[in-house]
Amino acid sequence: MFKGSIVALVTPMSESGDVDYPSLQKLVEFHVESGTDGLVAVGTTGESATLPMNEHIHVVKKIVEYAAGRIKVISGSGANSTDEAIELSQASAEVGADGLLSVVPYYNKPQQRGMVAHFEKVADACELPLLLYNVPGRTVADLSPQSTAVLAAHPRIVGLKDATGDLKRLQELKQLVPEDFILLSGDDPTGCEFMLQGGQGVISVTANVVPAMMAKLCKAAVSGARDQALQIDKPLQALHQALFIEPNPVMPKWALYRMGLIPSPVLRLPMVQPELTSQNTIEAVLHDIGLIS
């Protein structure tokens, strides 16, 4: 259903701060042509925090239109209000998304029982398959493997994006969830090993920049071709690291801008463009990989 290389897609913006839809369409085509398996529309990397709901859903709708059934579209539909997450999820279904990615409620730090109740209520309210998203580095709250196992019993909760980077947790999850429950890495530096140890794919920031390489990496790793997967991943490790030297999506937007894939690296406040030292770092990595001259 949702496996392989799934990109956490950036939302390109013009100098005025409006969504740049022509560039968005070009990015969708870039991923289709590069073999990416799925698109996450307006997740954290897509600046969901600063897109109001109507604009958020319009971007999802346009990505669905651009994809035209050639690639799966997963809508970022999480919120720290359960009612808002339900509204986003239902609206995503109405505009044709194939699935949902719903993040652990952020800032209000719900208890484990609260997180379970939140996700069950969201899943009950929408027919689309739902991927849980655990990223305690951003949300503070951490969805436990035990709570994930409870949620995995829901017929519409089909998987988890785990961005903890903790490979021991993967083994614990595999012992607790059904065999068909999808386990995806949300941490690019450890994503290759995550797949080699039984994960079915990644939801990747790095795939914005090198989608064809990430698609090949995922195919190799998921099939258990360890040597081939590690050979592909080795030169990407510097890129994985450089893309997170400033808060995401600052660096992937700058990389895409320098590669000529988007005309502007504009972000919405409170995000701003990277420091000069960060620009130099990512550009050196892009040059070493052969992505810029």
- Amino acid occupying residue 153: A
pLDDT of residue 57: 98
Q: What is the CATH number of the domain that holds 59?
A: 3.20.20.70
In a domain, 232, yes or no: no
Q: Is residue 234 part of a domain?
A: no
Q: Is residue 269 part of a domain?
A: no
Give Dmax (Cα) for the chain: 52
**Is 281 part of any domain?**
no
* Residue 175 lies inside a defined structural domain of this protein: yes
As a whole number, mean pLDDT of residues 28-45 equals 98
pTM of the model: 0.98
List, by residue number, the catalytic residues.
133, 161
Closest CA to 225 of 216, 234, 235: 216
pLDDT tens string 81-137: 999 999 999 999 999 999 999 999 999 999 999 999 999 999 999 999 999 999 999
Burial of 263 (0-12, 13-18, 19+ CB in 10 A): middle
Asked if residue 187 has pLDDT above 90, the reply is yes
Structural domain count, the chain: 1
Q: What are phi and psi of 32, to 5 degrees?
A: -60, -45
- Residue 13 structural domain: 4-225
Which residue in the block uniquely carries the two structure tokens 């600046």?
A: 47
Residue 73 binned pLDDT confidence (cut-offs 50, 70, 90): very high
pLDDT of residue 1 exceeding 90: no
Q: Mean pLDDT over residues 231-244, rounded?
A: 98
Asked if residue 219 belongs to a domain, the reply is: yes
pLDDT confidence bin for 157, thresholds 50/70/90: very high
| pLDDT value of position 69 | 98
Is 271 part of a structural domain of the chain?
no
User: What radius of gyration, in Å, describes the C-alpha atoms of the chain?
Assistant: 18
Residue stretches of the annotated binding site for pyruvate: 45, 203
Residue from 104, 99, 150, 152 nearest 129 by CA = 99
Q: Is residue 169 part of a domain?
A: yes
pLDDT tens column, 42-72: 999 999 999 999 999 999 999 999 999 999 9
Q: Residue 287 above 90 pLDDT?
A: yes
Q: How confident is the model at residue 139 (pLDDT cuts 50, 70, 90)?
A: very high
